[in-house]
Amino acid sequence: MIGRLGKRLMPAALTTGSLLAFVAFWQVVSLYTNPDFLPSPGRVWDEAVRLFHTPVGGKDILAHVGFSLRRVLTAYLWATVLGLPLGLCMGWNRTCEKIVSPIFELLRPIPPIAWIPIAILWLGVAEGSKVFICFVGSFVILVLNSYTGMRYVDPLLIDAARSFGASRRQQFFNVAVPACLPSIFAGLQNALSMAWMCVLAAELVGAREGVGFIIIQGMDLNRPPMILVGMILIGIVGSLLAASLRWAERALCPWRRELV
């Protein structure tokens, strides 16, 4: 029999259980493989502890995370400021759609990573090109999500506003924008994940700091545990970013909260 408390604890127990099982599986596999090939969880842990105390490339590990985050957030901010209004505009206004979407359809299939060489050519190997790659990745997603969200706004709701004599402006701000908030949020989440993936790709190509640099450094120094620490950091930071946006969505879209 599962009591009420049990029901509340159940999901947490399942999450912890699955993480523990994953680590156990990793441990078992690492027992039977060459440690240079797959270091055991223990060794990775030790490496993580070591990295927290000894700087890599002159900076400690949190500073590296900070560098990556700063690039991501700068790019993400720009992508949001430019991409959201553009997407909403495309979805709302036929003329805007006709003008922007052909260019956009052409640029869309180009993966952000394919921009790396040209970005370096334009902006140099320093911050500029890395931020640019992240920007491209998240911008495309933000535009697409807000655009499709706007296209699928229930016309009935617009008509309801029109029947009260709402101006175009009121229809846009009072109905269309709130109606596509869920898809805007989906876009914000995907775009942030994308920016985070892009920063690593960018950092793998010539960086002196950042989480990607740790991985490259681990490879150059031939330290597999260091590579894994870098990868795990990527995972942790990425999921924390996603969780914070989910939290923001729950706070800002209370009508979407599931009620049990």
147 Cβ partners below 8 Å, 6+ apart?
87, 88, 90, 91, 97
Half-sphere CA count of 173, side-chain side, radius 13 A: 4
With binding defined as CB under 8 A, does residue 36 bind other proteins?
A: no
Q: For other proteins, which residue of 157, 204, 219, 232 counts as binding (CB under 8 A)? A: 157
Q: For other proteins, which residue of 25, 159, 236, 248 counts as binding (CB under 8 A)? A: 159
Decide whether 174 or 193 has the Cβ nearer to other proteins: 174
With binding defined as CB under 8 A, does residue 49 bind other proteins?
A: no
Decide whether 160 or 243 has the Cβ nearer to other proteins: 160
Q: How far is the CB of 157 from other proteins (least distance, A)?
A: 6
Site string for other proteins, 168-197 (x = CB under 8 A): --x---xx--xx-x----------------
* CA 73 – CA 51 distance, rounded (Å): 24
Number of residues that bind other proteins (CB under 8 A): 20
With binding defined as CB under 8 A, does residue 58 bind other proteins?
A: no
Name residues contacting other proteins, limited to 67-106 (CB under 8 A): none
Phi, psi for 111 (deg, rounded to 5): -65, 145
Max Cα–Cα distance, the chain, nearest Å: 73
With binding defined as CB under 8 A, does residue 164 bind other proteins?
A: yes
Site string for other proteins, 117-156 (x = CB under 8 A): ---------------------------------------x
Decide whether 74 or 174 has the Cβ nearer to other proteins: 174
Nearest to 190 by CA among 85, 79, 96, 103: 79
Gap between the terminal Cα atoms of the chain: 20
Place of tokens 């914000």: 188
Nearest to 100 by CA among 88, 86, 85: 86
144 Cβ partners below 8 Å, 6+ apart?
87, 108, 187
Q: How far is the CB of 86 from other proteins (least distance, A)?
A: 23
Decide whether 23 or 166 has the Cβ nearer to other proteins: 166
Decide whether 125 or 181 has the Cβ nearer to other proteins: 181
State whether residue 118 is helix, strand or coil. Answer: helix
* CA 55 – CA 4 distance, rounded (Å): 48
* CA 15 – CA 5 distance, rounded (Å): 16
Decide whether 101 or 170 has the Cβ nearer to other proteins: 170
Rule CB under 8 A: which residues touch other proteins?
156-157, 159-166, 170, 174-175, 178-179, 181, 253-255, 259
